[in-house]
A = this chain, B = another copy of it.
């Protein structure tokens, strides 16, 4: 029976279950026992796929990070004026957060208690620096309002993007809904709520 159940799991589907449990109980509060129960397979079946829960954490966080770094490599993030590239990155990051919600949520909650978590925070800082460089360039181009500090603006812009994870539910819509939300972020943050 255990064999049959194990066969239904791939590294990918086991990861999806683990991420749900990590987000619900917190990584520290999750044991292999919890993962085994949630997946409906034995602990030894899990060990057949991964060395332990930290490997599942690393794989899940890698998926979110790979997505973020792919965004800054896209043409829209590399070509054109810095302010437009920044807007592109904000939009695509918002879309990624929604399409990869559990993985990005896990990344956002990382606090640095394990080696994997510290590595994740380091990679997040690298991403933040890429974005901060775009803001700096946009300011140098005269395209960024001068009365808001660039570092503070970065935090508030991505604070708005990341806050989507607090309420967005994937079942509320597909790609069109994700685009609608990301477009609202761009309109508010880059052009403001007020009519001219």
- Which residues of A approach B to under 8 Å, CB–CB? 26, 83, 142-149, 152-153, 155-160, 162-164, 166-167, 180-181, 184-185, 187-195
Contacts and interface: CB of A to CB of B under 8 A. Distances in A.
Nearest first, the 5 A-B pairs at minimum CB distance are A159-B163, A192-B192, A160-B160, A191-B192, A148-B184
A188 B142 contact: no
A155 B164 CA distance: 8
A91 to B, nearest CB: 13
Copy number of this protein in the oligomer? 2
A156 B143 contact: no
A117 B166 CA distance: 17
B191 A194 contact: yes
Contacts of A192: 145, 188-192
Contacts of A185: 156
Given A143-B194, A194-B145, A184 B160 contact: no
A119 to B, nearest CB: 20
A155 B181 CA distance: 10
A150 to B, nearest CB: 10
Given A145-B191, A189-B193, 18 more contacts: A83-B194, A144-B195, A149-B184, A152-B180, A153-B184, A153-B193, A155-B167, A156-B164, A157-B188, A159-B159, A159-B162, A160-B160, A160-B163, A163-B163, A188-B189, A188-B192, A190-B194, A191-B192
